[in-house]
Each structure stands twice: as structure tokens, then as C-alpha cells.
Amino acid sequence: MDLGKLGHTCVVGLHWGDEGKGKIVDLLTEHFDIVVRYNGGGNAGHTVHVNGQKFALHLLPVGVLSPGKTATIGPGVALDLHRMLEEVSALAERGIIVGPNLKISDRSHLVMPYHKKQDLLSEAALGNSKIGTTARGIGPCYADKMLRATAIRVGDLLHPDKFREQLRRIVDLKNKTFAALYNDREPLNASEIADQYLACADRVRGNICDTTRFFFEAIQAGKRLLFEGANGALLDIDHGTFPFVTSSTTSALGVPAGAGVPASTLTSCIGVTKAYTTRVGAGPFPSELDNEIGQYIRERGHEYGTTTGRPRRCGWFDAAAAQYSTRLSGITHLAIMHLDTLSGLDRVGICTGYRAPDGPLPGFVSDGATMEQVQPVLEYLPGWKGDLRNVRSFDDLPREARHYVDRIESLVGVRIAILSVGPDRTQTLIRSI
């Protein structure tokens, strides 16, 4: 793949998140002008290792790390402004200044303190049926967006008197609801929240704009846009393992609506996946390895959540699920991450399909209840030994590792353009295809 020749491109995860999207976006950024977050919010945790430094970004697009690039938060993002500003301050302490290079859509919905509270209360009330959310207020914020009457958008911060009035009404409603539903006895204070958010607004006033117009003009001027997907395709609200999903459109389908660009904008779509599969939180995971191999992968791959620190569930590469999410997003290139992590296993498995109690399934289905019941159809390939972290060319990989990625490529049906053998930007193999 010639990175310099990519048109407007999106980077999306093909499984249940944490595939390594942050590393790929960082790698590609130098070839683009604008990096755009279009979905999710503080539930995301995108890690970048560059020049011996590690960065974990939750709300700021990865593009803020590259000088001279514009980073944009689109209308489809659930924006926790307070946390975003904490990220800005933490970067400033490390010498990275986020200033006019950040643009925030006036239409992004604000995650408010009562959203995070509602997330926690609702999960606690669900007990064993809980979704296992990141507690970042994502579901409640998007729910209020759809309800409209209880939503607050970034642009509302520009009208302080109206914002205060709006917030008084909503907080009163939330306090009553929490008391009635969850027996909550700690009402939130609307005027304290308003003070806090209006102080935040003072810091970002110059960054708020109509990003739809900004993108339109940028595309007209020949600028190149890179869309940074958050979460993973199987967490998609419509197409994932419902109800164990997040509340936004996490695939490439989310780009037009979540960013505010025409559907015809994308020319390339890079699907990111690990050489195995992980999941955080509850929900079906047919190829899960709840055994010592899963533990081996977790320890070697440092599979602990970037956002919550929770241990990630680990399993064999689910090719059937990757094929589904590849078709859904119209993936043009694959990026396979963490090949180094699988070294040392006698054999490596790939899930090629599913068997339900009443027979084989035609492929992945986006119904949590069905997927809970299936058994994976597994195929095993010989494993490989050795440290892959210093390998820089496909031909220098152990024969078994090459065979393994070739098999993934043929099962998923899309060319592998990028192979990753370590967290650092340099630990990457790019194939000319």
C-alpha cells in the first residue's frame, strides 16, 4: 500500500475494540491533513507509542500528536468536555500544545455528570445482566440525544443564560428520576455543573465551529481527511452483538453521519484487527480462550483496558466475525496487529464459523442471544517461536507466521497492507499491494 496515495480514509476496528486503531491512525497521520473522530467518546482509549513515549487518548483525536495537522471532533461524538480538557492539560505538561489545531463541532453532544452517574446506577441495577460499560456516560448521553428534550450540545455553551436554564430543568428531572428509580439520595446541583461547564467553555470557545462547513471547504481545497473510528464494529449499536454493544455507529457506516460528510467521501477503509481477538465487558465471544492460552496472550499482549484497566478477555482470531465486519464497512485494506504476541505457541487457532445448537450458522449474526449459544468452528495452524519485534519485512517472518497471516487474508477476503509486530510506530511492516 502506498500510504501517500490514499484518498479520504477511515480506520475502524473489526472486532470488539482495542484492535490498535490508535497506532494505525498515528502511522497514517503524516499523509493526511485532518484527523476526525466521528463516534463514541471517553469509552475509547487509543494508545500511541512514539519516540519512546506512550500516549493514551480518549477524546482527543490521535492527530493532535502530529505537528501541523488539524484534529476534529465531529457531531457524532459524545463529548466529555471536562475530561477532554484534562487530556489537553496532560499533553501540555509533555510539551504538546493543543490550540487552534483542534476543532469541535457545535453539534457534538455533551456528556454531563448525570450521564456518568446514570451509567453507574443503571449498571448496578442490572446486576448480572449488566453490559459492562466503561461508565463514561456514553449510553445515557446518546439516549438524551435521541430524546432531544434532555440533550445539551456543545453549541449550547455559547448561550450561557439559556444553558443555565436548560440545565436547571434537566438536572431537576434527572434528580427526580434517579431518586425514584434507584433510590438515589445525592441530588446533583445544577448551578455547580453550569459553573463548571461554562468555565470549560471559556477554554474552548475558539475551537467550536461548524465542522460540516469546515470539512466541505477542506475537501474542496484538496485536503485529505483521516477518520479515526472508536470502539469496534461488533460493538455497533445496529450491527454488533446487541445488547452487548455501545451506543454509536462504530463501523465505517458511522463516518458520513458522525462526521458530516457525504457518503461518497471515503475512498479507502482500513480494517484493524489483532492476530487474535479480545473483548472487554460482557457479551458473546465464541472464540474466547478462558484458559492458560488466553492468559498467555493476555500477559504477552498486556491485554488490560486503556480506559478502565480491566483485564481483556482473549481468544483465537475470529475470521468469521472479521469477514462480517469487513463486508459491513467495505474494508479495502487490513492491518493485523500484535503478531509478536502470538510467538511461542505450539499451534494457533482461527475461528472460521459457528455451530448453533440446531446446526451451522451461515456466518456471524448480530444477535447477542444467538451468538451466546454458538460453538466456534476452529482450524489450527502450526505456531512459531522467536521474537518478532525487530522484524521489518514480511519475508523475514518465520514461515509459520507468514502462513498464518496468509490464511487470515484468504479467510477474510481482503489484502493485508499493514502488519504490526510491536506497539511502536517503527515496529510496522507495510506491504506494497
Q: What is the secondary structure of 76-131 as a DSSP string?
A: TSEE-HHHHHHHHHHHHHTT---STTEEEETTPEEP-HHHHHHHHHHHHHHGGG--
Give yes or no for residue 303 binding Mg ion (CB under 5 A): no
Interacting residues with ligand IMO between 219 and 238 (CB under 6 A): 230-232, 235
Give yes or no for residue 20 binding ligand GDP (CB under 6 A): yes
* Single-letter code of the amino acid located at 223: K
- Please identify which residue in 110, 111, 421, 429 interacts with ligand GDP, judged by CB under 6 A: 421
Interface mask toward ligand GDP for 319-358; x: CB under 6 A: ------------------xx-xx-----------------
- Please identify which residue in 14, 18, 76, 140 interacts with Mg ion, judged by CB under 5 A: 18
Return the number of the residue (156 or 228) whose C-beta is nearest ligand IMO.
228
Q: Report d(CA 127, CA 110) in Å as an integer.
A: 27
Return the number of the residue (218 or 336) whose C-beta is nearest ligand GDP.
336
Q: Report d(CA 111, CA 100) in Å as an integer.
A: 22
Can the peptide bond before residue 243 be classed as cis, meaning omega within 30 degrees of 0?
yes
Return the number of the residue (131 or 345) whose C-beta is nearest ligand IMO.
131
Distances (CA, A) of 88 to 83, 94, 97: 9, 10, 8
Q: Report d(CA 126, CA 133) in Å as an integer.
A: 12
Nearest distance from residue 278's CB to ligand IMO, in Å?
8
Q: Which residue stretch of 27-35, 43-51, 328-336, 408-416 sits at the interface with ligand IMO (rule: CB under 6 A)?
A: 43-51
Q: Are 229 and 9 in contact (CB under 8 A)?
A: no
Q: In a 3-state reduction of DSSP, which class is residue 417?
A: strand
Q: Report d(CA 41, CA 59) in Å as an integer.
A: 6
Give the residue numbers annotated as catalytic, written as ranges.
Answer: 18, 46
Return the number of the residue (41 or 353) whose C-beta is nearest ligand IMO.
41
Q: Report d(CA 35, CA 37) in Å as an integer.
A: 7
Interacting residues with ligand IMO between 290 and 349 (CB under 6 A): 306
Q: Report d(CA 321, CA 344) in Å as an integer.
A: 25
Give yes or no for residue 133 binding ligand IMO (CB under 6 A): yes
* Interacting residue ranges for Mg ion, rule: CB under 5 A: 18, 45, 306
| Interacting residues with ligand GDP (CB under 6 A) | 13, 17-23, 45-47, 49, 301, 306, 337-338, 340-341, 420-423
Residues that bind ligand IMO (CB under 6 A): 13, 16-18, 43-46, 131-134, 136, 138-139, 230-232, 235, 246-247, 280-281, 306
